[in-house]
Structure 1
Amino acid sequence: MAFNSNNILIQNISGADLRTFHVGFDFGKYRNEEFAEKLMDTIVDFAFGFHTGILKQYDRRKLKEAAKSIYKVKGFNEVKKIYLDDNSEIFDCELKIEDKYLKRGEFGEMILHLILRDNFESLPLLSKIHFKDTDSAVVHGFDIIHIGTDPGNPNKQTLFLGESKVYSRKDNRAGENGIDDLIEDIEFHFKKDFLLREIALIGKKKNAFDTIDDYTDLNTKEEYQEFLNKKKHWFDIFEDVENGNKKLQEFFDSVTIPLICTYQSKIFEGVTDETNQSFLDAYAAEVQILKARFDEKLKGFGIDSGEPVKTNLNIILILFPIPSKKQLISALHLKLTAQQNA
């Protein structure tokens, strides 16, 4: 594992199309701080990907640089001010900032990054934070672009195109609203014109990596060469699709779509032990209801001639209930702010 988050994150369901996670308790207290610390371990990997090499170890300067780069994303500072300056509970429906920063934000992407790295053994192919920091260019519409082994076929390589949502709702419908927004993402992002534009944008970053000749870390040089070989494989495919030498339908045979909904849930109220059977029963019931909602809405898509069939997409729904979005996001902002000012 890249970050050993299985010490914090408990995986309840590990199915072909559904994964569920939650964080447990220690002496009756929810392990919010521990999970936030684990996410902080990912910030260099998340912000810079492998564009400048495989960074298994990095100094304080690199951590500071990564933290600053995340806060250069539009809207992120505005969200930080609300979460750190307002002591009351905060619900997404009450806030005025542009919705996409409230429902997703880079912390939602960071959670998905962590889960993919540790549970799917993926590698980050592109980091939008890196490019936003270096050339201010829009890189891609997907929250995460990773590469790795197909979860359903260990002999097959896959491209992970991920989407993330982080939700809170006063009416306890955070999970339902997150599911509905993920369905909207599928409808918007998995259309032929959008995908071809994204593939073209991704393809332009083909040379945005250190060459092996410029690579100085002898401890990871062999590993980095292996990554470059995998990177070349995928960029060759992007080029073939863009040039019309490979059908988009064939491309999709090698695509996995992880969709994560991190949402505030009332199942944690009054709970001090994640092994409590009533909690486990409530947890299982809630995630199955959300999965059924997702499946039903996915079946509602029509079949448009020449477009990807939505129900045939290789989707993995990841559900991650939390007791308080405000407590988690506030802890992350505090830690990230401290890191960039270190």
Structure 2
Amino acid sequence: MPPPTPEPFWTVRVHRIDIHPGLSGLCVGYERGEWRRDQFVNHVMEWLPEFALKESELQGIDSSTLVRMIRNAANIIYQSEKFNNRGEFGELFLHMAKRQVFNSIPAISKIYYKTARNETVKGFDSVHVVEAEDGLELWIGEVKFYKNIKQAVSDVIQELHDHTQTNYLRDEFNLIINKVDKNWQHYEKIRSLMSPNTSLDEVFKRACIPVLLTYESDAVRQCSACDDHYKELLINEMREAYHLFSSKGLPEDIRIHLFLFPLASKTELVTALDGKLRIWQQL
């Protein structure tokens, strides 16, 4: 049996699926006056096996293989001194957000697209499916693990337009379906949806692009507890970020859902994540 899914960690401060784009605002909260950076880092590590390992490897985890599989997952992410420039942590956050908020099912990790150690991966940052009431949906995501929300919005808007061009989508679909395990329970449905014989008009009816943006938050840094004042500041800040994003001329023919993840300090978070990951690599 695969390892159990980690318990939810984020508090979802805002969740709107009745608007376009949709919005979910994620919060890690405080403990004894401090933003819960280290607790969040420990939680992130719990997701490593699911994010980095193949389905067949997850199915094979037991007490005799657990440590080795955790070490393998940590090594798959990256081995580089240039960790401040890496996007893998952001991809992992997006994976976690879709799993926690929408109970998505991973189709394949973009880690599998790497052809050489420490190579960055272009294209969509995450490929999941969601079992909706009217059938299976394809969730192909984008993430910007940034300090500045304006820069994050600017860069992701350009990618959203580039990545929804017909030729680009066809190339991505071909790459994705060739990497999906043919024994996966949803393989045939995804293969049919991504087939070149299926009109993109039909694909867009069954697809969503989740976008996760991080930013260093004044609300997070000014407060030390999840009291009413903090919640008001944070929700107002998220509302402004949402309006900035939604006003930039998004692609109109596909559903988009925005995840906002405010940080106290990106640099400190990345340093803590990198340190913990290197410990796991030595298990």
Indicate if the aligned counterparts of 2:238 and 2:260 stay in contact, CA closer than 8 A: yes
Residue 232 of structure 1 is matched in structure 2 by 188
Query: Which amino acid is the alignment partner of residue 13 of structure 1?
Result: V
Indicate if the aligned counterparts of 2:192 and 2:198 stay in contact, CA closer than 8 A: no
Change in CA separation of 1:293 and 1:55 when aligned onto 2, cut-off 3 Å: farther
Q: TM-score, normalised to structure 2's length?
A: 0.89
Residue 196 of structure 1 is matched in structure 2 by 170
Residue 165 of structure 1 is matched in structure 2 by 144
How much is the aligned-residue C-alpha RMSD, in angstroms? 2.4
Indicate if the aligned counterparts of 1:140 and 1:202 stay in contact, CA closer than 8 A: no
Change in CA separation of 1:324 and 1:136 when aligned onto 2, cut-off 3 Å: closer
Which runs of structure 2 are paired with 1:251-290 in the superposition (5 Å)?
251-275=203-227, 277-290=228-241
Are 1:332 and 2:273 counterparts? yes
**Aligned partners of 1:138, 1:203: CA distance in 2, in Å?**
20
Are 1:2 and 2:5 counterparts? yes
Sequence identity (%)? 27
Give SS of 1:319's match.
strand
Change in CA separation of 1:54 and 1:185 when aligned onto 2, cut-off 3 Å: farther
**Aligned partners of 2:118, 2:276: CA distance in 1, in Å?**
25
Cα shift at 1:25: 0.8
Change in CA separation of 1:175 and 1:137 when aligned onto 2, cut-off 3 Å: closer
Cα shift at 1:202: 1.5
Residue 14 of structure 1 is matched in structure 2 by 15
**Aligned partners of 1:62, 1:46: CA distance in 2, in Å?**
12
Unaligned runs of 5+ in 1: 84-100, 169-173, 212-227, 300-309
Bigger CA drift: 47-56 or 258-267? 47-56
Residue 82 of structure 2 is matched in structure 1 by 79
**Aligned partners of 1:323, 1:314: CA distance in 2, in Å?**
30
Which among 103, 109, 112 is matched to residue 127 of structure 1? 109
Give SS of 1:297's match.
coil
Deviations 1:264-298 (A, max 9, x none): 112123311012x2222221111111111111102
Query: Which amino acid is the alignment partner of residue 173 of structure 2?
Result: I
Query: Which amino acid is the alignment partner of residue 237 of structure 1?
Result: L
Deviations 1:3-61 (A, max 9, x none): 212xx311011111011011111111211111111100011111124254546755111
Unaligned runs of 5+ in 2: none
Which runs of structure 2 are paired with 1:35-114 in the superposition (5 Å)?
35-50=40-55, 52-54=57-59, 59-71=66-78, 77-80=80-83, 101=85, 105-114=87-96
Indicate if the aligned counterparts of 1:140 and 1:201 stay in contact, CA closer than 8 A: no
Query: Which amino acid is the alignment partner of residue 144 of structure 1?
Result: S
Cα shift at 1:71: 1.0
Query: Which amino acid is the alignment partner of residue 312 of structure 1?
Result: D
Indicate if the aligned counterparts of 1:20 and 1:287 stay in contact, CA closer than 8 A: yes
**Aligned partners of 1:145, 1:311: CA distance in 2, in Å?**
21
Give SS of 1:229's match.
coil
**Aligned partners of 2:165, 2:248: CA distance in 1, in Å?**
17
**Aligned partners of 2:119, 2:277: CA distance in 1, in Å?**
23
Aligned length: 274
Indicate if the aligned counterparts of 2:61 and 2:69 stay in contact, CA closer than 8 A: no
Deviations 1:317-338 (A, max 9, x none): 1111011111111111001001
Q: TM-score, normalised to structure 1's length?
A: 0.74
**Aligned partners of 2:191, 2:142: CA distance in 1, in Å?**
21
Give SS of 2:5's match.
coil
Indicate if the aligned counterparts of 1:160 and 1:255 stay in contact, CA closer than 8 A: yes
Change in CA separation of 1:32 and 1:295 when aligned onto 2, cut-off 3 Å: same
Change in CA separation of 1:55 and 1:311 when aligned onto 2, cut-off 3 Å: farther
Residue 155 of structure 1 is matched in structure 2 by 134
